A and B are shown apart, each in its own frame.
Chain A
Amino acid sequence: MFKSKALIRLAFLGSAVAWVILLFSDITVLFSSLQGLQPDVPEWLPRLMLAFFVVCLFYYYKLRIERDDTLNFTDLLWKVFATGLITTIISLVLRLLVFLLGNTVLATNVVFTDFIYQINLALLVNFLLAALVSWKRLILYQKSKWLLRAWLAFDVMLLTILVYDTIGSPILYSLRLVVNIILGALLLILSANMRWVAYLNFKQKWTSLLLLLLVFFYLFYFFYSVESGSEIIAKTSSAFLDFRNHLFIIFLALFIIVYGVFSFLVILFNLPTSSVFEQKLEEVVNYQRISQSIQTEQDEESVYNILLESSVSSVFADAAWLEITRVNNEQKIYTYRISEQESKNIREHLEKNQVKGILDTGSEKTKNLSKYLGSLKTSRFRSILAFPIMVKEETIGTLALLKELPDGFNKEMTRIISTFANQAGISIENFRLLEEAFQHARYKEELKIAKTVQQSLLPTKLEQDNDFEVVAFSASADEVGGDYYDTLRIDAHTVALIIADVSGKGTTAAFHMSQMKGIFHSLAQQHLDPKEFMQRSNQALTYCLERNSFISASFFIIDTQQKNIRYSRAGHCPVLYMQAGQNHSYYLKDRGAALGMVRSREYNNHIETNEISYQPGDIMVLYTDGITEAKNAKGEEFGNDRLALALNEKATASAKEIEDYIIKQLYAFTGTQNINDDYTSMTVKFKT
């Protein structure tokens, strides 16, 4: 940035120095020639300085205008215009000065005229160069490779002419002709590049026309000034820098004028169609708004509003409505300059006229219903266009556009709006997908919490006894279930055990599991009969469980003094039992409904206490249905038989070894570490 600023200043300084030298050397040459003297400076110096001045000034404008990306087209024209204005004002001031001097000696002095002429010429060159750089930007808007090459050739030719002007040597007439033809051809090629005009809006076009007109005015004024100046000097002496011999300036001016005239005409002829272009542009912008609405944090509602707004503004509709069925099947209507009642009337009218499947959400095609509207006398509208909004090939709504004019919609409009409607459908579909993804993520997060809760509810240590050992295993599925097991010592010779499975999954299951834990810890301490325990648990749970939830549980009291187990099974998987010395295990068959199945005193009739005596070496395996219902790749269940077999094979081992073996067999059977339902088991072995 600093560098470019310094360069701008340097270029300006260079041009200023060159001009001062040009001015004085030219005056010297002229003066010497008038006096018949040999000039102190060489005759070619003014020409060289002019070339130097042109180059420096060219770079000055190039750096200032070409690098500035913030300029739009009218800004560029404005810059040219402003440069012209300043130079014209300076020139006019000089003219005023000459006028005030009247017919004094100074005013009629040729040297003074040359002085004025040189200033005017410098101003003209200044203005031309500013215009050249600006025109370049306009021409090279949307550049192609060929255009860049043409411009480069043009630049080179200009430079060549400048060099030729500086050397001042005569050149062959034929060569000059060739150069002129090439330059003329380049000029026409470049002047044909008018793409920027299309991007002007109506107001900018008018501004541009005015600015261009003023630019022409300056040019003619300057030409008049320098022309008259050089005319006067030429009468006296030819030893001065006559711009009429300077091809570069003439050609440059020609280029500026030709392109200016072309632009002027093109803008003028484009004026009537500019509104169409603007409308197209707005359509594109609207389309973008709809498609981008998904990226910002807008909701479905705003998509509908944007759709309605964009559609109305794109086809100049007088009114519109949008009828949408939301995800929760709720009907919603958005209106624009029409009351809900009015739109309802129209819809009813169309229905009455048996226009089936168009405004109702079953429609899949865009239809122009205008002919049906003619018969609705109460309505101010005479044209209507209806569009379905589709999401996943399902119509979720209808967009209707209305006009007061008959036949107000053309094919073009129909196409635009149907694109809008399609895009809105896509946006809404995206919204819904995103929403689903969020829900899913939330659900997963919930499950994680449930899993943590479930894990923390399970005991870290189980009650051990001199008479038996007890071990437990638990592995929870991703989709957390509500398996629970626990032990509690009632007194020196009695220990309570429980295993339970809460129906359902996720957070609710974990929640019910914690209730079950609370119930177990408070009731088991009271040394209740198992049936009574279940009865009271059921009572407690009646008001907590949802209508379709229940808990299956088995509750045991092991009495090491009596050497017996009193237990109650409330809908839980039957206990697998193995008596010492036998070689096969069996399931304890008994009656009992799960907790929550019967939510009244009636439950008494559906639960019972059972009692068995145990011998040292007896084994009892408690488990949940996650184990027996675990499936292998073929879809077969692990089942009760395989479970019993596993126990049979390890009957003489310790509780821990038996359990490990059963779990090993289970995983070997399913062949995967992924589990669908929680695996929970508790194994009790009475010590020998």
Chain B
Amino acid sequence: MVQIKRLQEADAEIIALIGEIDASSSIDLDLAIAKSVGEGFKKILVDCHALEYISSAGLGVFMSYIEELREKNIYMVLFGLKEKVANTFEILGLAGLLHIRENKMEALKLAHELSV
């Protein structure tokens, strides 16, 4: 089960993921990102502080947006990944395709730099 919170900070959208993302809850993640994209945010930060686990289905959701975000010039940065979660991204090779930072500050900074 996952709890997803969306909040806006300046011109950036922050999606906070709390709990575990498996095959069924990956749909919620998909919806959340789709909404943020649909509402026209150019900077999307994904807060993974409280993300305990992510299954391949959840990773598939992130993967599926890579192309779309690039085309629309939207910058998504993940931050605060737990070691285990980060490892999952790493093994799959997603780490090289997504922007991942340590904390929110750095994530915001990167988003700003990219959008300039």
Give the residues from 58 to 81 in chain B that come closer than 8 angstroms, CB to CB, to chain A: 59-61, 63-64, 66-67
Residues on A with C-beta less than 8 A from B64 are: 547-548
* Interface residue? B105 (CB, 8 A): no
CA distance A547 to B56 in the complex (A): 13
Partner of B97, one of A504, A570, A598: A598
Task: Give the dominant DSSP class at A's interface.
Answer: loop
What A residues does B63 contact at CB under 8 A? 548, 550, 596-597
Known A504-B23, A573-B91; judge A606-B56 contact (CB<8 A). Answer: no
Stretch of A117-125, A202-210, A587-595 that contacts chain B: A587-595
- Of the A-B pairs whose beta carbons lie under 8 Å apart in the complex, a sample of 30, sorted by A's number, is A501-B56, A503-B59, A504-B23, A504-B57, A504-B60, A505-B23, A548-B26, A548-B30, A548-B57, A548-B63, A550-B56, A550-B60, A552-B56, A552-B92, A571-B94, A591-B96, A592-B93, A593-B92, A593-B94, A593-B97, A594-B94, A596-B63, A597-B63, A597-B92, A597-B94, A597-B97, A598-B97, A599-B67, A606-B96, A606-B97
A503-B60, A571-B93, A597-B92 are known; give 19 further A-B pairs, CB within 8 A: A501-B56, A503-B56, A503-B59, A504-B60, A505-B23, A547-B64, A548-B63, A548-B64, A550-B56, A550-B59, A552-B91, A571-B91, A573-B91, A574-B91, A593-B92, A593-B94, A597-B63, A597-B66, A625-B56
* Residues on B with beta carbons closer than 8 Å to the beta carbon of A574: 91
Q: Which of B66, B91, B94 has the most chain A CB atoms inside 10 A of its CB?
A: B91
Residues of A near B94 (CB, < 8 A) are 571, 593-594, 597
A550–B97 CA distance with the chains assembled, in angstroms: 14
A477 smallest CB distance to B (angstroms): 12
Tell me the interface secondary structure of chain B in the complex.
helix
Q: Does A549 contact B (CB under 8 A)?
A: yes
Tell me which residues across on chain A come within 8 A of B60, comparing CB atoms: 503-504, 548-550
CA–CA, A593 to B96, complex, Å? 8
CA distance in complex: A594, B92 (Å) = 6
| A-B CB contacts (within 8 Å), total count | 60
Kindly identify, within residues 198 to 251 of chain A, every residue whose CB is under 8 Å from any CB belonging to chain B.
none
Question: Chain B residues near A505 (CB, 8 Å)?
Answer: 23
A150 to B47 alpha-carbon distance, docked (Å): 87
Cβ of A648 to closest chain B Cβ, rounded Å: 21
- A597: B residues at CB distance < 8 A: 63, 66, 92-94, 97
- Residues in B whose Cβ lies below 8 Å from that of A549: 60
Using CB atoms, name the residue of chain A closest to B67: A599
| Complex contacts, A591 vs chain B, CB 8 Å | 93, 96
Q: Which chain B residues border A547 with CB–CB below 8 Å?
A: 64
Q: Which A residues lie within 8 Å of B23 (CB)?
A: 504-505
Q: Report chain B residues within 8 Å CB of A503.
A: 56-57, 59-60
Q: Are A593 and B57 in contact (CB under 8 A)?
A: no
* Most B CB within 10 A of own CB, among A548, A549, A571, A599: A548
* Total chain A interface residues with beta-carbon distance under 8 A: 24
A625 neighbours in B (Cβ, 8 Å): 56
**Residues of chain A contacted by B61 (CB below 8 angstroms):** 548
Instruction: List which B32-91 residues lie within 8 A (CB) of chain A.
Output: 56-57, 59-61, 63-64, 66-67, 91
Q: Mark A277-321, 1 if CB is under 8 A from B, else 0.
A: 000000000000000000000000000000000000000000000
* Residue ID in chain A nearest B56 by CB atoms: A503
Q: How far is the CA of A573 from the CA of B88 in the complex (A)?
A: 9
CB pair A504 B56 closer than 8 Å: yes
A130 to chain B, nearest CB (A): 76
- Residue-wise, chain A 598-615 has the 8 Å CB interface mask toward B (1 for contact) of 110000001000000000
For residue B116, give the distance in angstroms from its CB to the closest CB of chain A: 23
Q: In the complex, which residues of chain B have a beta carbon less than 8 angstroms from the beta carbon of A552?
A: 56, 91-92
Chain A residues contacting B66 (CB-CB under 8 Å) are 597-598
Interface centre among B56, B91, B94 (most CB of A within 10 A): B56
A163 to chain B, nearest CB (A): 87
A597–B63 CA distance with the chains assembled, in angstroms: 6
Using Cβ atoms and an 8 Å threshold, which residues of chain B touch A598? 66, 97
Least CB distance from B27 to A in Å reads 10
Give A482 Cβ to nearest chain B Cβ, in Å. Answer: 10
Chain A min CB distance to B94 (Å): 7
Query: Which A residue sits closest to B87, measured CB to CB?
Result: A640
Within 8 A of B (CB), among A562-602: 570-574, 591-594, 596-599
* B86 CB → nearest A CB, Å: 14
Which residues does chain A contribute within 8 Å of B26, judged by CB atoms? 548
Bound complex: CA of A593 vs CA of B66, how far in Å? 13
User: Which of the residues B57, B91, B93 comes within 8 Å of A606, measured between beta carbons?
Assistant: B93
Instruction: Please name the residue on chain B nearest to A503 by beta carbon.
Output: B56
- B93 — which chain A residues lie within 8 A by C-beta? 570-571, 591-594, 597, 606
A552 to B57, CA, bound (A): 12
Tell me the complex Cα distance, A606–B67, Å: 15
Chain B residues with CB under 8 A of A606? 93, 96-97
Task: Give bound CA distance, A501 to B97, whole Å.
Answer: 20
Within 8 A of B (CB), among A321-367: none
Q: Please, which residues of chain A bring their CB within 8 A of the CB of B67?
A: 599
Partner of B92, one of A504, A548, A571: A571
